[in-house]
Structure 1
């Protein structure tokens, strides 16, 4: 967890659990998840990490610590001006998937929901991202109470094969709930079709690291235009380490492709959901 973070679309991060059951970024033959790689480097040497990435571990009290952080509503963010004046945006589970099977719903209610709804928690907005949207839907039904309006829900998409995560996400919360996709890393051209207009926010980005597949700027332009057409806010996070613009290869100094000063000007777009910005 961190009061500050280099992740462009939030102010802070918090991890009520560490570790994950795995996904297309962390499976046999493919180990590219940054959270998994960080666990492998630090396991056994840091008390703040799970013993191994696949040993999902609870860390109660972290959410309460984050709730006590200074409110940022109305303040400028010199390094992230697109967040100016918004409440502190706290990314829940950047180093984990809190909806991994070993994590009980009772723990999620006590650690996440109760904290988000507390007086301190209400001063911030919390962005809960998962690849397990069916379990998030199951949890929301189990709660039998309204979903907190300041708890955004998101799921991660990498390609056409993961579009099935969207439908369960749309069944979490109510008309107040902000629902978003993190399309990062994007591995192929995507058409969100009818799903797009039912979302509030799209985050998009290419893959960083060695041997990254190419991220084509045509994908970014297509997603930008599709979002604009239906009134969905669009945020281009990074271009990744292997960037193509048609047949041209872009060489960037930033190894993640996250410095938008190196981008074509028409892609320097970092919007937040309309109801807050």
Structure 2
């Protein structure tokens, strides 16, 4: 439940919570649900509950054992701010992130309302990056909720990008990731949608990262947009090794 990652914008994953439920259109073909079903069928003990929300108390302090600094995607197989994750459990995860100051932790949620409500009770050290998923223009309110948090780095994950988002207000947003959906039921992403977000990032001086075109066989389509690769990250001070 804590391992190196093939996700282009991070280096490792850490899953003290597994399992989730669908809340918006971006969840329709959830990769984590498909993976959890495979792991359950293989008898993985972490998935005895399938994709029901499950707390793994024994994994909370795992990043403290990793001495080499790395970018860590928190709960890639769940959502930290799901209603079934208790406040105290979230605070214990934050405690580990606070103590593991040499790592950079990247949290992504679709439950932005709970994020904004709980944020004042959490200790937002500078090594914690908070993001929200924005798959289309129907969920732009998530960005406003994100802006209300004191996270040092705030980012958007426009993946899977399912439609045009031509009026992004990126005030207070440090980073935008864009990517197409992948997998057997992948819905196509139009080039114009990705280019529009890239141009808005340039105009508003926000770092832009193009993750992938996606598709049924995503490796065939790569991650070149308009003739180049976009691998920008927020301009922040890097954590110091412990």
Q: TM-score, normalised by structure 1?
A: 0.79
SS at structure 2 position matched to 1:266: coil
CA distance in 2, matches of 1:211, 1:33: 10
CA contact (8 A) 2:212 2:218 kept: no
Shift of 1:173: 1.2
CA contact (8 A) 2:177 2:208 kept: yes
Structure-1 residue corresponding to 2:193: 219
CA distance in 1, matches of 2:2, 2:226: 31
Which of 14, 38, 44 pairs up with 1:41?
Answer: 38
Please report the RMSD computed on the Cα atoms of aligned residues, expressed in angstroms: 2.1
Q: Which runs of 4+ in 1 moved over 4 A?
A: none
CA distance in 2, matches of 1:127, 1:217: 27
The unaligned stretches of length 5 or more in structure 1 are 73-87, 243-251
After superposition, residues 186-225 of structure 1 pair within 5 angstroms as 186-193=161-168, 195-225=169-199
Cα 1:240–1:11, aligned 2, differ >3 Å: closer, same or farther? same
SS at structure 2 position matched to 1:99: coil
CA contact (8 A) 2:15 2:77 kept: yes
CA distance in 1, matches of 2:148, 2:58: 28
Is 1:65 matched with 2:62? yes
Cα 1:190–1:35, aligned 2, differ >3 Å: closer, same or farther? same
CA distance in 1, matches of 2:218, 2:112: 35
Is 1:241 matched with 2:241? no
CA contact (8 A) 2:2 2:15 kept: no
The unaligned stretches of length 5 or more in structure 2 are none
Shift of 1:71: 1.9
Higher relative contact order (CA 8 A, sep 6+): 2
Structure-1 residue corresponding to 2:82: 100
CA contact (8 A) 1:205 1:236 kept: yes
CA contact (8 A) 1:159 1:186 kept: yes
Structure-2 residue corresponding to 1:6: 6
CA contact (8 A) 1:19 1:50 kept: no
CA contact (8 A) 1:125 1:152 kept: yes
Rg: which structure is higher? 1
Matched residue count: 237
SS at structure 1 position matched to 2:161: coil
Q: TM-score, normalised by structure 2?
A: 0.90
SS at structure 2 position matched to 1:90: strand
